[in-house]
Amino acid sequence: MEKMKIGVLLSGSGSTLQSMIDHIKNGQLQAEIVAVISDNMKAYGLERAKDAGIPTMVVSLKGKSVDDYSKEICQVLENKDVKLVVLAGFLHKYMNQNKDMSVINIHPSLLPAFAGKGMYGSKVHKAVIARGCKLSGCTLHFVNDEYDEGPIIAQDIVKISSVETFETLQQKVQAQEKLTLINGLRDIISGKVKRRGNTVFITRESQSSDKE
Ligand code: GRF
């Protein structure tokens, strides 16, 4: 059976992309990453893609509206027959132009907390620590036209210790994100993820068909 074609958008180091590459290489994820696109020509994630033989492209956002650069990116993805787009540390809004494509994002907090424009990376973890939270975690969600507001696919928690720093929290959350993303990708690829309005249902083998 043909593997699902995935496109990845990133702006930074690409450790999330690397996790996907490694799982595919080890046969633990039945998918094919056919394009990695960045707004930042210096993004190390582009190097990781090239090392894995994945076509890359830099699409500058300078002077373009969100709509225009989203259309440009979407065209590249359509030409590669992409069915699933993963935002893996993409620091800008992406407006999906093709309703046959699903777009997902992994965010380093338990949405809807600590989200929205500008809330990414260490800014999130610093805010979580400053708020005195006892739990944090990550959220895998479908992307809509607002930052971090799309339907939630999966969330996993990370406990915060009394001596937690934002650096140690970031490490724990980033490790969990990679697991949450891979598990979510497996569920999407196997057709278990169904959306009903703003709610996502994941069917499990053990459930009878009338329960979701
Ligand atoms: C991830 O840790 C996640 O929080 C968010 O951006 C980060 C990307 O890191 N989506 P990397 O560029 O994949 O290392």
Cis, peptide link before residue 112, omega less than 30° from 0: yes
Domain residues for 86?
Answer: 4-210
**Residue in this structure with the two tokens 């990845």, named with its chain if needed:** 8
Question: From the CB of 108, is ligand 1 less than 6 Å away?
Answer: yes
For atom 1 of ligand 1, the residue with the nearest CA is: 89
Give the integer Cα–Cα distance in Å for 29 and 40: 27
Q: What share of the chain in percent tops pLDDT 90?
A: 92
pLDDT digits (tens, 9 = 90+) for 79-136: 999 999 999 999 999 999 999 999 999 999 999 999 998 899 999 999 999 999 999 9
Q: What share of the chain in percent tops pLDDT 70?
A: 97
Do residues 32 and 6 lie in contact, with contact meaning Cβ atoms separated by under 8 Å?
yes
- The average pLDDT across 46-64 equals 97
Do residues 36 and 17 lie in contact, with contact meaning Cβ atoms separated by under 8 Å?
yes
**From 23, 92, 107, 125, the catalytic residue:** 107
Using pLDDT thresholds of 50, 70 and 90, give the confidence band for residue 61. Answer: very high
For atom 6 of ligand 1, the residue with the nearest CA is: 89
Do residues 71 and 43 lie in contact, with contact meaning Cβ atoms separated by under 8 Å?
no
Buried b (16+ CB within 10 A) or exposed e, 154-180: bbbebebeeebebeebbebbbebbbeb
Indicate if 107 belongs to the active site: yes
For atom 5 of ligand 1, the residue with the nearest CA is: 89
Q: What is the mean pLDDT of the chain?
A: 95
* Bridge partners for 139 per DSSP: 107, 155
Based on the structure, what is the number of domains in the chain? 1
Question: From the CB of 4, is ligand 1 less than 6 Å away?
Answer: no
Question: From the CB of 15, is ligand 1 less than 6 Å away?
Answer: yes
Question: From the CB of 89, is ligand 1 less than 6 Å away?
Answer: yes
pLDDT digits (tens, 9 = 90+) for 124-154: 999 999 999 999 999 999 999 888 999 999 9
Tell me the CATH number at 68. 3.40.50.170
